[in-house]
Structure formats: structure tokens, C-alpha cells
Amino acid sequence: MTRRPFLFGVWLRLHGVDLITMALMGALGLGIYEAPPAPSRSFPLYFQNGEVVYPQFAYPLRKEIVPIWAAALIAFFAPFFFFTLFQIRRRSLDDWLSTTMGLLKSLITAAVFQVFLKWLIGGLRPHFYDVCKPNVPANSAPSGIGFASLMYDRSVCTGNIDDIDDSLESFPSGHSTAAWAGLFYLALYFNAQLKVMSAHNPAYWKMILMFCPLLGATLISGALTIDEFHNWYDVLAGAVIGTSTALVAFRQTFASIFDFRFNHILLPRTTSLFHRQPVLPAGVQYPFFTYQVATGDLPFTREGGWARGYKASDAFSRGNSAGGEGSGPAEVPVHAFNGA
């Protein structure tokens, strides 16, 4: 079988709408990120006896262990490095560009999602009181708003305006969102390309490598609770957002998320607004696995029968064709074809 020759101009026309959409989403996210908090948030300071209401928001302002720019760079460049490295075996510019596009879809979607929540919902960071520096004596009679005049707004703050804006936008965590959107996508990619959860018992180092991105995302997220830049629920919400966008972006890019037979197969883009003529090899019909057999798509690993002309993994599908996990017709698995 021969690969369809890659034409960058065709690829650009097929994915042009996505590129424009990502640029617009990025601009929207940046604009919202730079905007001040939307609502006027109220917060308590002292009880009537002078006791601090929420001491969990009275931590000192510290330097971030992992700055937001570092978290964003790690979330993109760590996966991008391995996408590039794995081209030693994949050898497809289409695969390299489309896989990277999937990563960007995950990161940009997650970023816009979380900045909207920060802007409209937000919340107090653990160091809010220290940044706010309220001009309200601790033992004075309540002079705020709301019931018993116990609540205040940012008009009582005397600190730096930018720091106050930032300290009112704690929920969700941008660090966690970026880390999980990028590094969870990388973990899925490792599972697909190395067949960590497959029809054979792979080398242990592959399992370790798959968990490394998850460890990295957890460390970045956890550091935010140590330096008191986020509450635990901010971190959890960011992880949920990032994980969700990674799952959807990976499934849009590849034929499956967890099915080991197909999760390395790049789904083709055949038409778009800028390219109406379907792009498929001559004589090849859908479904997608037929297309991929013709183009010779293989994962990075060659262990367990995932190599040219070797059919060891086909036995799994035959044994499960009647149903259950991994079930399906024996002729479907792409790696089982000679020359595939």
C-alpha cells in the first residue's frame, strides 16, 4: 500500500476554517482575560466582635511556584516535543500537523472556557485580604452593606488595582486548566501510540511514560494550593475543564479514545469551506478504517504485533468477535492487514 502524497496547500484549505476559528477564540480569550471582573462582588471582613470572618482568605501574597506563562508553555511544548519525536516512526506531516491542531483545540477551548468563568463568577483567592488591604478598623462598628452592615465591596480596598482584580478571579484555576488540557491529551496520545492498554502486555516503561504527563499536571495543580494562589475547588474545576476538552479534542482528531485498535488512527478531513472536492485516495470508500488501511497508518510502537506484515494482535479481535470488550469483526483492525 502507498501513502497519499501530502500537499500542504490542500491541508491548509481543509483546516483553514479551524485555524481562523482558533485565532478568533484566542483573541476573545485574551480580551476577556485582560478585562476587569464583571460583577461587583461583596465579601465579609469582620464579625461584630472584630473576629476575621474568613481567615482562609488572609494568607500572605507569595510568589507563584509555577507562573502561568510556564504552565502554558509546558502544556503545549511537552506534547509538541513528543508529537515531533514520534514522527521517527509515524513519518507523516499530515499526522504531525493534525495532532498538533488537536492539542491547540484542547488548550484554546479550555482557556476561553475558564476565563469566562473567572470573569463572570470568579471568587476570592486565599491571599485576597492581604492584597485588598481593607481600610476598615478591626474593632470598629460594622459600616458596610447588607444585613447588619457586615458585607463590603472593593471600594474599601486600598491595595494595587491589578492585584485586587486578580485576587477576585480565583475560580477556576487557569494553571490547572492549561496543564490538564495539554498533558492529559499527551497521556491519551502515549496510550494510543505505545498501546499501553492493548491486547498484549507491553513493556513497563510505556506505562510509566503514560503516567508522567498526569503526574506533571497534578504537580502543577497542587503547587497552586501550596503557594496559596488557589483554593482546592478552583484547582479541581480547572482539572475537570482541561480533561474534558482534551477528551473531546482527541476524539475529534483520532478514531477512538480508548479502543486500542483505532485510537492511533488519524481521522481524515475530506472537505471544508475552502476545499469542496473530497480528498480520498482513488478507489477507497468510507468507513474511515478502510481509508487508513490504504494510507498505511501505524502507531509508534512495534511491540505486540503492531508492525508491518505481523498479525499477532488480530487474534484478540477474533476471540472477542462475539461481544465484550474489544469485540468486533476480525477484518476491522487496521494493524492486522499485511502492508498496512
pLDDT in tens, 243-258: 999 999 999 999 999 9
Mean pLDDT of the chain: 83
Distance CA 190, CA 260 (A): 11
pLDDT at 314: 55
| pLDDT tens by residue, 160-216 | 999 999 999 999 999 999 999 999 999 999 999 999 999 889 999 999 999 999 999
- What pLDDT does residue 71 have? 94
Average pLDDT over residues 286-303: 61
Question: Given this model, what pLDDT does residue 6 score?
Answer: 63
Amino acid making up residue 119: W
**CA 216/CA 223 separation, integer angstroms:** 11
What one-letter code names the amino acid at 16? G
Q: Is a pLDDT exceeding 80 seen at residue 276?
A: no
Give the integer Cα–Cα distance in Å for 227 and 125.
11
Burial 291-306 (b: 16+ CB within 10 A, else e): bbbbbbbbbbbebbbb
Distance CA(146)–CA(40), nearest Å, equals: 14
The mean pLDDT value for 301-306 works out to 84
* Nearest C-alpha neighbor of 130 from the set 167, 165, 171: 167
Q: pLDDT confidence of 131, banded at 50, 70, 90?
A: very high
- The ranges assigned to domains in the chain are 8-253
Grid cell 465579601 is found at 43
Name 254's Cβ contacts closer than 8 Å, sequence gap at least 6: 102, 192, 262, 263, 264, 265, 266, 267
Q: SS3 of 40, please?
A: coil
